[in-house]
Amino acid sequence: MPSLWFVMPAYGRLSLTAICLRQLRRTCDSLSENGIHASAVVIADDANLDVANGLGFATVPRDNQFLSRKFNDGIQLALDRTYNPRPATHVVPIGSDDWVDYRLFLDLPTDRTMVGFQHMSFVREDGHNLTVHQLRYEGGCGIRIYPRNIMATVGFRPADEDRKRGCDTSILTNLKVAGAIRRIEHRPTDPLSIVDWKSPDVQVTTYAEVAARHVSRETFDPFDVLADRFPGEALNEMQAHYGRVAVAA
């Protein structure tokens, strides 16, 4: 039976991360109901680990000095028999502020094919605006599907150990240099299948930078357009997080 682990480094942002972790639990359960045994590993050194444990996810205690090292820890725990007697067949790096539609992962790649997604949505820091974007570069966003044998080529630790940012690029670059990837497949998807919930306490002018750099289409209210795609309880939680009054269905 194929299996998949999401690899999620987390740091602070306890309220937002908890909402995303609960939604990830639902995503994993939906995958398991559809024949793909799914779970996640959270790499952190704060209360995010408690939330992850409570949801039945794997955990790795690691400080936040180097983000790339946290990704490596999670990928290695997922795939390396030294630590996991039942390694997963695939891994998907994911951010602690991302939601993903489980249907993106029903068709898992084989051999040495990496799957990437070039369409996704970003929600503005105040929660009032969602914009869909096409990321016109190789690999698309950092949420990619890697088969286990690709990661085995680099000892299950694909990123440079000392990066604080740009980890998705580091992973892809190192895998290509090692000859681990035979093909990169960009799957056309509905951009509402991947949602990045921006936070005002982390980045500066992030949403505006995204809008300036990438092909953007018209904007929407996130809680209207996502209503048919993600569970109402998750949307209500997120709406409350942004301080917006939830509209009764």
Partner 1 sequence: MTQHGRFEVVGSFRFRGHEIGEQFEAKVTPQIERAVARRNIVCLELITPRVPDGFRLPRGWLDE
Partner 2 sequence: MAYTKSAAHYDQILIDGVDVSNAFNEFGRTGENETLDATGFSATGNAETVPGTTTAGFTGTVLYGPEIEAILWPLFEDKTICEVAWQPDGLVTLATPFQTHVGNCYLNQLDVTDTKGGVRNATVRFDPADATGINMVTST
Q: Fill in the per-residue mask, 10 to 49: x = in contact with partner 1 (CB under 8 A), - = not in contact.
A: ---------------------------x-xxx--------
Q: Taking the CB of residue 225, how many other CB atoms lie within 10 A of it?
A: 15
Our CB check for partner 2 shows the closer of 208 and 247 to be 208
CA-based R_g, the chain, Å? 17
114 close to 176: Cβ distance less than 8 angstroms: no
Angle at 181 between CA 177 and CA 185, to 5 degrees: 130
40 interacts with, out of partner 2, partner 1, none, CB within 5 to 8 A per kind:
partner 1
Site for partner 1 contains 126 (CB under 8 A)? no
Site for partner 2 contains 195 (CB under 8 A)? no
Which one of 13, 69, 90, 133 is in contact with partner 1 (CB under 8 A)?
Answer: 69
Site for partner 2 contains 135 (CB under 8 A)? yes
CB of 81: closest distance to partner 1 in angstroms?
Answer: 12
Site for partner 2 contains 173 (CB under 8 A)? yes
- How far is the C-alpha of 142 from the C-alpha of 92, rounded, in Å? 9
Closest to 131 measured CA to CA, from 197, 205, 199, 229: 197
Our CB check for partner 1 shows the closer of 86 and 212 to be 86
Q: How many residues does the chain have?
A: 249
Helix axis angle, 67-79 relative to 167-177, nearest 10°?
A: 60
Site residues (vs partner 2, CB under 8 A): 95, 135, 137, 141-142, 165-169, 173, 196, 203-206, 208-210, 212-214
